[in-house]
Amino acid sequence: MTATPHADVWPVRTERLQIRPMTAPDIDAMWEWRQLPDVNRWLGLAPDTIEAFRERYLDAERLASMYLVELLPHGGEPAAPIGDLMIRIGDAWAQLEVTDQAKGVEAELGWVLDPGYTGRGYATEAIRAVIDVCFGALGLRRVHAGCFADNEPSWRLMERLGMRREEFSRKTALHRSGQWLDGMNYGILAEEWAVTDS
């Protein structure tokens, strides 16, 4: 099985949340929000059965890039899963002579929050904590994320966190509805985060 990058960093706790590497038993909880039409309309893949969903996320490489967002318990209650995150560490583009220096220096982020928990700042809190980890413990130089332009809550979250809109592409993504949709990509550098996060 593929190891979680920098396993010693996790779990990460914020004031209200815990973010930890996802395990196979968490996949069924993730299905609960990812199967909802208002959620999966924005996802790259929306398997229509729990069996297909499990097969996709039990892939060791995919599972290693997934993290569960849990609401911290009050009293004796267990932590409640409320969303999931993807952190895919990858290489930056580089000219051939310097490719070694561009390996594993950036991360693509993705996130999904259970609609029952939206509007309370949980997504902002979780993504802020993940970016802190990316630029802190993981030592990355750049973080980026993308979304359909129609997914306003997603790009507003990125802007709220100080991410820069790097691309607005016209009708570049074919949606499962059959429509070509606009796309948006955002990014932020470690030195920019140090300024915005202070």
pLDDT digit string, tens, across residues 41-52: 999 888 889 999
CA–CA gap between residue 126 and residue 153 (Å, rounded): 15
**Number of residues written out for the chain:** 198
Report pLDDT digits (tens) over 143-198: 999 999 999 999 999 999 999 999 999 999 899 999 999 999 999 999 999 876 55
Q: What is the pLDDT of residue 2?
A: 46
Report pLDDT digits (tens) over 73-83: 887 788 999 99
The residue behind tokens 């609401």 is 71
Q: What ranges make up the beta strands (E) of the chain?
A: 12-13, 17-21, 66-71, 80-90, 106-113, 142-148, 164-174, 180-189
Choose between 48 and 99: higher pLDDT.
Answer: 99
Q: Position 24: which residue type?
A: A
The residue behind tokens 């429509």 is 179
Q: What is the pLDDT of residue 197?
A: 59
Tokens encoding 94: 């580089």
Farthest-apart Cα atoms in the chain, separation: 56
C-alpha dist (Å) from residue 87 to 22, 66, 117, 152: 11, 7, 21, 21
pTM above 0.75, yes or no: yes
Query: Half-sphere exposure of 175 toward its Cβ, with a 13 Å CA cutoff?
Result: 16
Q: What is the pLDDT of residue 48?
A: 85
**pLDDT category of residue 4 using cuts at 50, 70 and 90:** low
Distance between start and end Cα atoms, the chain: 38
Percent of the chain with pLDDT over 90: 84
